[in-house]
């Protein structure tokens, strides 16, 4: 690396339902997951968001802070290729990158002022709870949406869309939980339909092992039976 280091200070952090990396969607807008970008105490003036209501979506630039110490390699295993084939780091959206910067387009759900500070509400996040945000920019369809763009991997390895069934006893618990987190039932389905298991297990249509995913303060247990994801357990943390 050349010696042209710059220091970037986060402008805030995001709160999201994803308390661990397992089962976070690979890209934004694949699950109905809401989040709040909480600006740091340095930002006391709401006018930083003046005009943002005119944009349906925003770019969030952020740091893959969970990987900060793990370094990077020129090639990475591509989960969408089953986990063994490799791609160049700059041909991938890997979280292990020279500067550890991520970018996600999310839905703009408006700005509010809370006890925590100035907040931008968003939907469709693929970020871990607590991720440092380094910038926010409006999404510009005329420039950012390329209708002729291609992605060969999308044809080769589409995102799974499995049916998700919730066991009767979990439904009762979920009813209680949704009094606090209204979005939880839809969140569980939209996260699990993508088959959160490691890619090499995706071919297994019967997999009795219980996998656990943490959403908000709940551990959700699921297995796969007859090609369907079955939510079998739910525990309050």
Question: Which residues in this chain contact ligand SAM in the complex, by CB under 6 A?
Answer: 21, 24-28, 64-67, 93, 95, 102-104, 126-128, 131
Nearer to ligand SAM, 93 or 201 (CB): 93
Nearer to ligand SAM, 177 or 196 (CB): 196
The backbone torsions φ and ψ at residue 47, rounded to the nearest 5 degrees and listed phi first, read -65, -10
Q: Which of 132, 136, 130 is nearest to 111 (CA)?
A: 136
Distance in Å, CB of 149 to ligand SAM, minimum: 15
Nearer to ligand SAM, 92 or 232 (CB): 92
Ramachandran region, residue 47 (left: φ > 0; alpha: ψ -120 to 50; beta: rest): alpha
The Cα–Cα gap between 160 and 30 comes to 11
Nearer to ligand SAM, 17 or 28 (CB): 28
Distance in Å, CB of 173 to ligand SAM, minimum: 26
Is 181 in contact with 192 (CB distance < 8 Å)? no
Q: Which of 167, 170, 227 is nearest to 197 (CA)?
A: 227
Is 223 in contact with 230 (CB distance < 8 Å)? yes
Distance in Å, CB of 46 to ligand SAM, minimum: 26
Alpha-carbon torsion angle 15, 19, 20, 21, nearest 10: -30
Nearer to ligand SAM, 130 or 208 (CB): 130
Is 195 in contact with 160 (CB distance < 8 Å)? yes
Distance in Å, CB of 32 to ligand SAM, minimum: 15
Distance in Å, CB of 100 to ligand SAM, minimum: 8
């Amino acid at each position: 690396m050349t010696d042209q280091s710059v220091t970037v200070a986060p402008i805030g952090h995001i709160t999201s339902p994803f308390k661990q990396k397992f089962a976070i969607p690979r890209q934004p807008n694949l699950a109905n997951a809401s989040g709040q970008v909480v600006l740091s105490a340095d930002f006391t003036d709401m006018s930083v968001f003046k005009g943002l209501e005119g944009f349906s979506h925003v770019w969030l630039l952020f740091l893959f802070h969970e990987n900060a110490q793990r370094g990077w390699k020129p090639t990475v295993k591509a989960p969408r290729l089953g986990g063994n084939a490799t791609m160049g780091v700059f041909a991938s959206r890997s979280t292990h990158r020279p500067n550890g910067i991520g970018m996600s387009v999310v839905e703009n759900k408006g700005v509010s002022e809370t006890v925590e500070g100035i907040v931008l509400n968003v939907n469709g996040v693929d970020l871990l709870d607590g991720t440092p945000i380094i910038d926010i920019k409006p999404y510009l369809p005329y420039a950012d949406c390329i209708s002729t763009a291609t992605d060969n991997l999308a044809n080769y390895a589409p995102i799974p869309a499995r049916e998700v069934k919730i066991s009767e006893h979990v439904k009762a618990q979920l009813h209680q939980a949704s009094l606090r987190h209204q979005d939880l039932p839809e969140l569980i389905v939209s996260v699990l339909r993508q088959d959160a298991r490691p890619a090499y297990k995706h071919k297994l249509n019967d997999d009795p092992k219980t996998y656990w995913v943490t959403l908000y303060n709940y551990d959700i247990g699921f297995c796969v039976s007859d090609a369907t994801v079955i939510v079998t357990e739910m525990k309050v943390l």
